[in-house]
């Protein structure tokens, strides 16, 4: 095996730390008979060849050798290799390397460099005379030019293509006598529509004959990712296996039924396995449709997480409370009235991690906490003093946990300060003062936020100062919170959006003047950035701010903040060039309710590229922001698409799909740092795909458009096309994938 391993010119290939000369040694270790050697080699391989999920040309080069290895029944660790292939295949599109797109990124498919016969013979002699020490640093202090790296999207695409080339080998492994190998091959082959039916049959066989309940449950969850109505009989049969197996089957049936309620037998199982003393979901492997645990549940089963937040298993309870944070999909399906009481109850949990998660999720909801639970203030006041509750027994620092709980409670109290009674305000101030003294000078006392942690004492001092003021949040505070969508040590962006919109409606000139002053001062980088970004949401109205925005080029701001402010100025200038909407404008020529005679005209318009760019003033929600001006693109083609769908007329060819894809790579609206895609419903994409000849023909074209969205920014917008996420969801739904993408 691997007779050609040294034919590859590894010295011209790269990984995370430079030249990839040590990769052959890693590969040999990855199939060694000794478990310890294999584990160590895999660790080195993942750290160098797949460093932090990246793709390199060496990532591409190893795939054929690993395929050769799994084809050999004597190779140890074949399941690990097959799982590695599946992970890399799934990750490649996120790096711009979707292997189902036929055209390589950049347009050129570069080969793996090979040694000449003479160089190969020399390399073999050198290897025999002086075997390489696999622990040796690959670089050996050699100069390395980062220009030697092959573009990563191409490496990701080539890796996916190389894995796909192994499909005949993987199909043969479906009959492997090793049940784990056959199951791993089946789960890999689920990725491709052409082999999905074959893979499902093989995977079901391994499930039926698997005696270990957790392994059986894991495979059911993986099967569930591509479950269809044809699988309901088998899934229903597994509902009668107690414990994790029935829990897995019930979850898959819920995903399969969504948006309708789960079938009654599955609903009964979910109710049973979510009882406080049930452990089935705590033992359930994080795989398939349960890959993110309770963080991603289907809408029809989302309330399950509320029951899991009271489970006796602390790990499951913690995961459930974390899943109630606004950033997680399950929480989006639940109302504040459902979530807030559960989070308030968890503030008294025995375990610090759970209390931290509850405090953080409560702080995200702001004033909604008091809307739902007017009696929540005493609970928050008690949280300011903290208590030494049990930790996990794994060294989690109680001081750090207490500081985080205290900081989040203080944030929420400051946020709702205008709704506090005088007595409650004094109690809050006293509690925060005690906390400041408790944590002052303690560097290990940090408030844990989503993306970072901050020292507790300075944060509490800022919150105390705000609580001590009788008025609402100052505009500078609102601008600072507006600057960072992930901020937690200031007001959340939605709260800032709302308050700034209210202030602007009351006194527009005053708020614009304050924003210009925050930019000119530059002493608070967050306030300066946020003020500039907020001014950009006004469009042409913010023209008077341009001199102040331009002046930061020579001011005290750091490079990142300076770039953010200057980008806002660029957007405002661009808005001055956009035609403002006038009464009676009609940029699209399609009728709202076209008659039969107009259908040929509308179908002809599907190929038109003409559009009108207009600027519109007025309140508008764009992305995660409230804006007061947006730049809209109104296309004849987009109007024709919507008009034809309105009368349920789709041409029986690929014209509708081509038109929708052409529109998908253009923003419908650009609003400062945010952009909005055309947003055609998935049902319309399905109709267009069917008319174009089915998903097998349409999917590669949709994937190619997605890749174009990844690589091309909106005009005047620094980030990638937002259509990338939308098209990824279209691909997920049309391909029949359930659960987390």
* CA–CA separation, 348 and 361 (whole Å): 14
Question: pLDDT confidence of 130, banded at 50, 70, 90?
Answer: low
Q: pLDDT digit string (tens) for 623-661?
A: 778 899 999 989 999 999 999 999 999 999 999 999 999
pLDDT at 132 over 80: no
Tokens of 313: 């298993």
Question: pLDDT confidence of 387, banded at 50, 70, 90?
Answer: low
Give the residue-averaged pLDDT of 74-88: 96
Q: Out of 50-54, 671-675, 703-707, which region has the weakest mean confidence (pLDDT)? A: 671-675
Q: Out of 240-249, 490-499, 704-713, which region has the weakest mean confidence (pLDDT)? A: 490-499
Question: pLDDT confidence of 448, banded at 50, 70, 90?
Answer: confident
Question: pLDDT confidence of 400, banded at 50, 70, 90?
Answer: low
Residue 396: its pLDDT value, please?
45
Tokens of 557: 């701001």
Mean pLDDT of the chain: 89
Q: pLDDT digit string (tens) for 84-115?
A: 999 999 999 999 999 999 999 999 999 999 98
pLDDT at 714 over 60: no
Question: Given strand 669-671, what is the order of strands in its sheet?
Answer: 579-580, 611-622, 625-635, 669-671, 674-676
pLDDT at 181 over 80: yes
| Reduced 3-state DSSP string for 378-443 | HHHHHHHHCCCCECCCCCCCHHHHHHHHHHHHHHHHHHCHHHCCHHHHHHHHHHHHHHHHHHCCCC
Give the residue-averaged pLDDT of 12-29: 94
Q: pLDDT digit string (tens) for 345-362?
A: 999 999 989 999 999 999
Looking at residue 374, the DSSP 8-state letter turns out to be: G
Q: Are 248 and 217 in contact (CB under 8 A)?
A: yes
Q: pLDDT digit string (tens) for 560-590?
A: 999 999 999 999 999 999 888 754 444 444 4
Residue 437 has a CB neighbour count (10 Å cut-off) of: 11
Share of the chain above pLDDT 70, in %: 90
pLDDT at 455 over 60: yes
Residue 380: its pLDDT value, please?
95
Question: pLDDT confidence of 310, banded at 50, 70, 90?
Answer: very high
Residue 398: its pLDDT value, please?
60
pLDDT at 144 over 60: yes
Which residue's entry shows tokens 């946990």? 401
Would you give the distance in Å from CA 485 to the centre of its chain? 15
Question: pLDDT confidence of 224, banded at 50, 70, 90?
Answer: very high
List the domains of the chain with CATH numbers: 5-165 (no CATH), 228-472 (1.25.10), 498-577 (no CATH), 596-734 (no CATH)
The residue among 17, 12, 25, 101 whose CA lies nearest residue 60 is 12
Give the residue-averaged pLDDT of 184-192: 97
Give the residue-averaged pLDDT of 48-59: 95
Residue 318: its pLDDT value, please?
97
Residue 142: its pLDDT value, please?
61
pLDDT at 413 over 80: yes
Q: Out of 182-196, 199-213, 245-259, 385-399, which region has the weakest mean confidence (pLDDT)? A: 385-399
Give the residue-averaged pLDDT of 611-616: 91
Backbone angles phi, psi at 570, to 5 degrees: -65, -40
Residue 85: its pLDDT value, please?
98
Q: Apex CA 93: angle with CA 88 and CA 96, to 5°?
A: 120
pLDDT at 718 over 50: no
Residue 555: its pLDDT value, please?
84
Q: Rounded to whole angstroms, what are the CA distances from 88 to 27, 158, 257?
A: 17, 11, 30
Residue 613 has a CB neighbour count (10 Å cut-off) of: 15
pLDDT at 330 over 90: yes
pLDDT at 163 over 60: yes
pLDDT at 399 over 90: no
Q: Rounded to whole angstroms, what are the CA distances from 580 to 531, 539, 583, 585, 715?
A: 24, 11, 10, 10, 18
Cβ-based neighbours of 8, under 8 Å, separated by 6 or more: 61, 112, 113, 114, 115
What global pTM score does this model have?
Answer: 0.88
* CA–CA separation, 538 and 568 (whole Å): 11
Give the residue-averaged pLDDT of 728-734: 89
């Amino acid at each position: 095996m691997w007779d050609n391993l040294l034919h590859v010119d590894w010295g011209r290939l790269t990984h995370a730390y430079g030249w990839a000369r040590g990769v052959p040694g890693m590969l040999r270790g990855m199939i060694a008979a000794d478990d310890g050697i294999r584990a160590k080699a895999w660790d080195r391989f993942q750290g160098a060849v797949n460093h932090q999920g990246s793709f390199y040309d060496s990532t591409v080069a190893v795939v054929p050798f690993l395929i050769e290895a799994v084809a050999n029944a004597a190779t140890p660790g074949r399941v690990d290799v097959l799982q590695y292939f599946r992970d890399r295949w799934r990750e490649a599109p996120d790096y711009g390397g979707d292997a189902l797109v036929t055209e390589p990124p950049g347009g050129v498919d570069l080969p793996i460099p090979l040694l000449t016969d003479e160089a190969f013979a020399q390399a073999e002699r050198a290897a025999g005379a002086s075997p390489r020490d696999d622990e040796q640093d690959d670089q050996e202090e050699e100069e390395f030019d980062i220009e030697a790296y092959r573009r990563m999207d191409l490496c990701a695409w080539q890796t996916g293509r190389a894995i796909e080339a192994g499909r005949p080998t993987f199909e043969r492994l479906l009959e492997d006598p090793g049940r784990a190998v056959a199951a791993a091959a089946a789960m890999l082959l689920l990725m491709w529509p052409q082999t999905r039916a074959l893979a499902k049959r093989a995977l079901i066989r391994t499930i039926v004959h698997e005696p270990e309940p957790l392994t059986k449950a894991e495979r059911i969850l993986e099967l569930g990712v591509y479950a269809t109505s044809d699988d309901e009989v088998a899934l229903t049969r597994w509902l009668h296996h107690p414990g994790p197996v029935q829990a897995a089957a019930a979850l898959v049936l819920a995903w399969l039924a969504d948006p309708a309620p789960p079938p009654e037998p599955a609903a009964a199982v979910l109710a049973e396995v979510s009882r406080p003393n049930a452990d089935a979901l705590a033992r359930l492997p994080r795989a398939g449709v349960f890959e993110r645990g309770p963080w991603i549940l289907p809408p029809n089963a989302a309330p399950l997480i509320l029951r899991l937040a009271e489970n006796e298993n602390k790990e499951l309870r913690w995961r459930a409370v974390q899943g109630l944070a606004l950033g997680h999909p399950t929480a989006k399906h639940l109302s504040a009235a459902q979530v807030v009481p559960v989070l308030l109850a968890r503030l008294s949990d025995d375990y610090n991690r759970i209390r931290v998660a509850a405090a953080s999720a409560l702080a995200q909801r702001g004033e909604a906490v008091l809307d739902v639970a007017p009696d929540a203030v005493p609970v928050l006041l008690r949280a300011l003093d903290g208590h030494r509750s049990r930790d996990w027994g794994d060294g989690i620092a109680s001081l750090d946990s207490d500081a985080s709980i205290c900081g989040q409670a203080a944030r929420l109290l400051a946020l709702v300060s205008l709704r506090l009674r005088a007595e409650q305000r004094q109690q809050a101030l006293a509690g925060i003062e005690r906390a400041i003294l408790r944590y002052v000078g303690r560097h290990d006392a940090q408030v844990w936020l989503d993306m970072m942690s901050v020292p507790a004492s300075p944060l509490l001092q800022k919150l105390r100062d705000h609580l001590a003021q009788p008025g609402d949040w100052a505009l500078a505070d609102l601008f600072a919170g507006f600057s960072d969508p992930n901020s937690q040590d200031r007001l959340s962006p939605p709260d800032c959006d709302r308050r700034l919109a209210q202030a602007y409606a009351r006194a527009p000139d005053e708020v614009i003047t304050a924003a210009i002053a925050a930019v000119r001062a530059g002493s608070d980088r967050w306030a300066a950035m946020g003020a500039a970004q907020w001014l950009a949401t006004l469009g042409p109205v913010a023209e008077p701010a341009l001199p102040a925005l331009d002046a930061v080029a020579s001011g005290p701001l750091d490079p990142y903040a300076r770039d953010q402010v200057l980008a806002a100025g660029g957007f405002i200038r661009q808005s001055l060039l956009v035609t403002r909407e006038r009464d009676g404008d009609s940029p699209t020529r399609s009728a709202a309710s076209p008659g039969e005679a107009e259908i040929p005209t509308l179908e002809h318009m599907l190929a038109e590229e003409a559009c009108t760019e207009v600027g519109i003033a007025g309140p508008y929600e764009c992305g995660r922001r409230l804006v007061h001006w947006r730049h809209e693109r109104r296309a004849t083609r987009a109007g024709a698409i919507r008009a034809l769908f309105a009368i349920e007329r789709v041409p029986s060819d690929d014209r509708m799909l081509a038109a929708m894809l052409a529109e998908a790579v253009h923003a419908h609206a650009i609003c400062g740092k945010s952009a909005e895609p055309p947003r055609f419903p998935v049902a319309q994409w399905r109709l267009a795909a069917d008319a174009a000849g089915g998903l097998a023909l349409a999917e590669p074209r949709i994937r190619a458009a997605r890749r174009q969205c990844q690589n091309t920014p909106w005009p005047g917008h620094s980030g990638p096309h937002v259509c990338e996420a939308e098209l990824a969801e279209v691909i997920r739904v049309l391909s029949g994938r359930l659960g987390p993408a």
